Chains A and B, each alone.
Chain A
Amino acid sequence: MGSTITEKILAAHCGKKFVEAGEFIEPKVDIALSNDVTAPLAIKEFRKAGVKKVFDKNKIALVMDHFTPNKDILSAEHVKFVREFAKEQKIKHYYEGGNVGVEHALLPEKGIVVPGDVVIGADSHTCTYGALGAFSTGVGSTDVAAAMATGKVWFKVPQSIKFVLKGKLNKWVSGKDIILYIIGLIGVDGALYRSMEFTGETCKKLTMADRFTIANMAIEAGGKNGIFTPDEITEKYVSKRAQRKYKFYTSDKDAVYHKTLEIDCGKILPQIAMPFLPSNTKAAKDVKRTYIDQVVIGSCTNGRIEDLRVAAAIIKKGKKVNPNVRTLIIPATPEVYSQALAEGLMKTFMDAGAVISAPTCGPCLGGHMGILAAGEKCVSTTNRNFVGRMGHTKSEVILSSPAVAAASAIKGYIATPDEI
């Protein structure tokens, strides 16, 4: 019996030749990640265990990205607490201030996470790194505390669902549209506890940015991890960035899957997810005229340079954003910001009347930098549209790709890029 890519990576990290779905294992972790919201709890728990030193100062990443630049006194106290811990423990990958980016865009960009890794993070979107061909999943602060102390984490080996992506992508269709379509198909618990493995001919056409977006939202279907088979596109991305040796794993032909779903990507049109679940999807063109108050283009899902390029091209064509729409552009990392400046994208956004923010998770989770009032609606390239996610419980978030978000910013209502 063969193994899936997920099973192979997990087996390699607990010194076994083979692991089976359902088996309890305790693999070694290559990176344990935490942020300014979850690290304070993790550090308090770490202290409780009575351990003096972290298991490896090079294998812990602390990224102060959620409420930063610090939005209030309590948040500032949290960051200070984490900074002091990072200094005391000589943590190599501590990010704050001018070098901070949204964690799941930052870590792959810096080559801190690489193909073949086992990564855990006290952040649900840690599943993003599956795009590189790593096993990567979100856990809680206590799990990260235990990993910081012991270098290990307990898991039940997940069953895998194979998504075979087929067909030619329609114009404007990106990774975001594919994953929204899949979540709409299987529901927010359609992959609960399971690994979502993305394969098929269409994958060869997906950029790393598309793959990051797809793996990022595996959690929105309840998945434990999302994972792609690394290939030459992965190699090109990773080879100039990796800080460590990396390894490409692939699933065996006779690997066992819980089920296999074929996705005809040729049928997918630019998608949106209406409030209040990411599974509440439909084609953007099929929505009745819905006026909006805000657009957010950014986040760990869609704040990469490819996303800003798509948005800038549409906004440039439309010249000005609608005066009724606060349009917030949030480059995910300093590198993305710098590249967007060099390419003139930021000038396009500014000339169009958009607001440009420093890298932060900010409004995605209703933290700061773009909170909604009662009755307001926002088209956002982020990942969740739950009740109150971006502000008041009577506000609404509509999820979309950067292309649909940019078109909506111009029009003032949910629009498709073809309308510009």
Chain B
Amino acid sequence: MKDMILKGAVHKYGSNVNTDEIIPARYLNTTEPSVLAKYCMEDIDKNFIKKVKKGDIIVAENNFGCGSSREHAPIAIKAAGVSAVIANSFARIFFRNSINIGLPILESPEAVIAIKNGDKVEINLNKGIIKNLTRKEEYKSQPFPEFMQKIIKTGGLLGYIKGR
């Protein structure tokens, strides 16, 4: 399998970023990814959607995505152009949802400490290596399991199940 490489600028947040902040319930009357993307992170960072560029990476501390089970949260992040989220830890439903919809998420406390807002970062998903291009540093994460890479390539769990 060819290495999956993701590259972009970092938007950094703290602990317990919750799904109400990622996509407030007032926008849950739609399931359309492009609409959800417009309001992504609105209640924690009003300017996020103006700043974010395709490929960018969110870095956060503990328990990212806590709260509601809304899959709209990882969908909004993915549709906003974010290529991956790196955190110390993820809330468990958010973790499942991200894998199931094909949003790469990585746990790496050493990366979270070292990476600063705005840094340019490159992730090799197969090897679980995070390169900080701004600071010329390298951090370790878990290699992304092959089945999870396949889920991402087939556009989510159901596409993957069908393919099998």
Contacts of B91 in A (CB 8 A): 189, 192, 222
Q: Which of B19-35 contact A (CB under 8 A)?
A: 20-21, 24-26, 28-31
| Chain B, interface residues (CB within 8 Å), range | 35 or more
Interface 9-mer from B52-60, B65-73, B127-135: B65-73
Contacts of B67 in A (CB 8 A): 124, 384, 386
Q: A189-B16, A189-B63 are in contact. Are A50 and B31 (CB under 8 A)?
A: no
User: A124 CA to B18 CA in the complex, in Å?
Assistant: 12
Kindly identify which residue among B31, B63, B69, B92 contacts A44, using a CB–CB cutoff of 8 Å.
B31
User: A38 CA to B31 CA in the complex, in Å?
Assistant: 9
B20 smallest CB distance to A (angstroms): 5
Q: A188-B63, A189-B89 are in contact. Are A138 and B69 (CB under 8 A)?
A: yes
Q: Are B93 and A124 in contact (CB under 8 A)?
A: yes
Q: Are B162 and A143 in contact (CB under 8 A)?
A: no
By Cβ-Cβ distance, the 8 closest A-B pairs, closest first, are A140-B97, A74-B29, A142-B100, A189-B63, A140-B71, A124-B69, A365-B25, A388-B43
Query: A67's closest neighbor in chain B, by CB?
Result: B29
Interface assignment of A319: CB less than 8 Å from any CB of chain B: no
Q: What per-residue 1/0 map shows which CB atoms of B141-164 lie under 8 Å from chain A?
A: 000000000000000111101100
Q: Are A140 and B100 in contact (CB under 8 A)?
A: yes
Interface assignment of A141: CB less than 8 Å from any CB of chain B: yes
- State the B residues within 8 Å of A (CB): 16, 18, 20-21, 24-26, 28-31, 43-44, 62-63, 66-72, 75, 89, 91-93, 96-97, 100-101, 156-159, 161-162
Interface assignment of A367: CB less than 8 Å from any CB of chain B: yes
Interface assignment of A209: CB less than 8 Å from any CB of chain B: no
Interface assignment of A72: CB less than 8 Å from any CB of chain B: yes
Q: A145-B158, A222-B92 are in contact. Are A139 and B69 (CB under 8 A)?
A: yes
User: A277 CA to B158 CA in the complex, in Å?
Assistant: 34
Interface assignment of A335: CB less than 8 Å from any CB of chain B: no
Contacts of A138 in B (CB 8 A): 69, 93
A416 smallest CB distance to B (angstroms): 28
Contacts of B93 in A (CB 8 A): 124, 138-140, 219
Q: A138-B93, A222-B91, A386-B18 are in contact. Are A78 and B162 (CB under 8 A)?
A: no
- State the A residues within 8 Å of B (CB): 37-38, 40-41, 44-46, 48-50, 66-67, 71-72, 74-75, 78, 121-124, 126, 138-143, 145-146, 149-150, 188-189, 192-193, 219, 222, 224, 277, 365-367, 384, 386-389, 393
Kindly identify which residue among A41, A139, A388 contacts B21, using a CB–CB cutoff of 8 Å.
A388
Give the residue among A66, A72, A124 with the most B Cβ atoms within 10 A: A124
Q: Are B92 and A41 in contact (CB under 8 A)?
A: no
**22 A-B residue pairings within 8 Å (CB atoms):** A38-B69, A38-B70, A40-B31, A45-B157, A66-B28, A71-B29, A78-B29, A121-B69, A122-B71, A142-B71, A143-B96, A143-B157, A145-B157, A188-B16, A189-B63, A192-B63, A192-B89, A222-B63, A222-B66, A222-B92, A384-B18, A384-B67
Contacts of A49 in B (CB 8 A): 158, 161-162
Kindly identify which residue among A41, A367, A386, A389 contacts B71, using a CB–CB cutoff of 8 Å.
A41
Q: Are A142 and B101 in contact (CB under 8 A)?
A: yes
Q: A142-B100, A193-B92, A222-B66 are in contact. Are A366 and B158 (CB under 8 A)?
A: no
B33 smallest CB distance to A (angstroms): 10
User: A365 CA to B101 CA in the complex, in Å?
Assistant: 23
Give the residue among B18, B31, B62 with the most A Cβ atoms within 10 A: B31
Given A72-B29, A143-B97, A384-B18, 19 other A-B contacts at CB below 8 A? A40-B31, A49-B161, A67-B28, A121-B69, A138-B93, A139-B93, A139-B97, A140-B71, A142-B71, A143-B96, A222-B91, A222-B92, A365-B20, A366-B26, A367-B25, A367-B28, A384-B20, A387-B18, A388-B20
Query: A391's closest neighbor in chain B, by CB?
Result: B26
Contacts of A67 in B (CB 8 A): 28-29
Q: Are B63 and A37 in contact (CB under 8 A)?
A: no
Contacts of B16 in A (CB 8 A): 188-189, 277
A344 smallest CB distance to B (angstroms): 34
Contacts of A145 in B (CB 8 A): 157-158
Give the residue among B24, B44, B156, B159 with the most A Cβ atoms within 10 A: B24
Q: Are B66 and A189 in contact (CB under 8 A)?
A: yes
